[in-house]
Amino acid sequence: MIVDTETIEEFLAQHSADVEEAVREAAAAEILPRFRRLAAHEVDQKSGPHDLVTDADRLAERRLTEALGALLPGSVVVGEEAVHADPATYEAIQHEAPVWIVDPVDGTRQFVRGESGFATLVSLAHHGVLLASWTYAPARDQLATAVRGQGAFLDGERLHAGSPAPGRDLEVATSHPDYTTDAQKRALLGLWTDGVSTRPCGSAGLEYLAIARGELDATVFSWEAAWDHAAGILLVEEAGGAHLTLGGDPFRITGGNTLPFTTARDAATAHKVAELLRHGSM
């Protein structure tokens, strides 16, 4: 079944609340019952000690895959855990069908440690264009949503990223070193300058939410896995923010980006951070 943009827009107008319900139900059934109750056999490593997966990740993604596919017939789901099992499934982002991009537990390390800083991320895209997103922090019961052209909201309240206050350091959350190449590390050195304060990033989805709320000025990430970025990037865009890659182009969920890239509260901040990264890479 081929689904066109008009059909997707009609779907969002009628069924956004159903998507929200599916996200909440997956978290209630598979994630929250395991929060601070994980047994050792429910936690595994993927590529290393900082890349964890739990039964909550796998089961929540399975539940979301079934629910989202049923809500929009003809759509496909690209989920982090399914792609780990079969990397070829990631190619669906570039195909004709509308695609749900799912990270069942974004911030798995925080989840395993019993911290509340994790989120379930869902977004809907078509032909590489982000159309809607849902960012749910189950342990905090916070839900942020965005629909292209209709704004960003947190628990029903409109979000405005605003601009950093003049005269203070920019606050920037940056990539974990384990996911950064030597060339990207050199680019990140450009942020070690007066007027910029950096810290390691936590859950990508919650860092994007902090930008959309005006609580964080920018992020810098060195990987492009769409499940980490899609929901948050649309949320920030709809709150008035911007994003740029090292090459000066907006970030593309279909890949091929020049990394690292930044997402920021406004276009001026995005350009400033991107320029610092370019200077560091020279």
CB 232 within 8 A of CB 202: no
Quote the percentage of the chain above a pLDDT of 70.
96
Q: Are strands 157-158 and 152-154 parallel, antiparallel or unpaired?
A: antiparallel
**Beta bridge partner(s), residue 77:** 100
Where exactly does CATH 3.30.540.10 map onto the chain?
A: 5-158
Residue for token digits 């809907």? 124
Average pLDDT estimate for 2-17: 84
Give 119-168 pLDDT, tens digit per residue. Answer: 999 999 999 999 999 999 999 999 999 999 999 999 999 999 999 999 99
Alpha carbon distance 280, 282 (integer Å): 6
Alpha carbon distance 262, 277 (integer Å): 9
Alpha carbon distance 97, 119 (integer Å): 26
Return the pLDDT at 2: 53
**Beta bridge partner(s), residue 137:** 142
User: CB within 8 A of 109, min separation 6: which ones?
Assistant: 50, 52
Answer yes or no: is pLDDT of 105 > 90: yes
Q: What angle do CA 154, 75, 128 make, to 5 degrees?
A: 70
Give 24-66 pLDDT, tens digit per residue. Answer: 999 999 999 999 998 888 887 866 556 778 899 999 999 999 9
Tell me, which fold does domain 170-281 have in CATH? D-Maltodextrin-Binding Protein; domain 2 (3.40.190)
Alpha carbon distance 4, 184 (integer Å): 38
Residue for token digits 């009609």? 10
Q: Which CATH superfamily is domain 5-158 in?
A: Fructose-1,6-Bisphosphatase, subunit A, domain 1 (3.30.540.10)
**Residue positions counted in the chain:** 282
User: CB within 8 A of 106, min separation 6: which ones?
Assistant: 118, 119, 120, 121, 203, 204, 205, 206, 227, 228
Return the pLDDT at 41: 87
**Beta bridge partner(s), residue 263:** 219, 243
Answer yes or no: is pLDDT of 1 > 90: no
Q: Are strands 119-126 and 99-106 parallel, antiparallel or unpaired?
A: antiparallel
Where exactly does CATH 3.40.190.80 map onto the chain?
A: 170-281
Confidence tier at 176 by pLDDT (50, 70, 90): confident
Is residue 38 classed as helix, strand or coil in its secondary structure?
coil
